[in-house]
Amino acid sequence: MSVLFFNVSLQNKSQENTLATTTNETLNDLVTLISHDINRMGYQVTSSVIKTMDSNKIAFLGDIYDNDSMDTTRVTWEWKNNSFGAVSSTPNPNDYYLVRTGPTSDGNAAGEIQFPVTYFNVNYRNGQGVATSNEYLVREIEIEIMLESGESYSVTSRGDGDRRYYRTVWKRSFFPTNLNKVLY
């Protein structure tokens, strides 16, 4: 009996650690990409920069990559937390696709990349840190992402005990250069 329970406990703990590692790696990839995009927001843009300002969708113009043949392109990050965006490839019912539409290769300005996330939120603030809906006054963009593992793990030593999805979260404020330099 002891050996049996030990084996089950070992499996559950291994599964939890593996799910934690993969979930954090996915978050890191997502954070790297979104940070790169936000920091290039407005680069080489002479007209208005931000095209959509919603709590779960942001669209803006910018020359995202220097080493391609494309000039300024439109980048959209949208969290589709409805039936159209539900992730069907994992058993996690909380997953919805966060879709990035933007340059993915030279010549392809509107490629799509999808990330299953469980929460995505964008806040827009002016130079005094107050929320604003005026795109010309935005100086700070706060982004929050919550991710869960696609598969669940058991938290008890018994085989099919309470099952959980490993969850991790990240939040950061950006002050994009090309939105702030007008005041500098």
Residues that bind another protein (CB under 8 A): 2-3, 6, 9-10, 13-14, 16-17, 20-21, 24, 27-28, 31, 119, 121, 139-140, 142, 144, 146, 168-175, 180, 183-184
The b-or-e profile of 94-117 (16+ CB within 10 A means b, else e) is bbbbbbbbbbeeeeebeeeeebbb
Nearer to another protein, 27 or 61 (CB): 27
Rounded to the nearest whole angstrom, what is the least distance from the CB of residue 180 to another protein in the complex?
A: 5
Nearer to another protein, 52 or 180 (CB): 180
Nearer to another protein, 14 or 48 (CB): 14
Rounded to the nearest whole angstrom, what is the least distance from the CB of residue 133 to another protein in the complex?
A: 19
Rounded to the nearest whole angstrom, what is the least distance from the CB of residue 103 to another protein in the complex?
A: 24
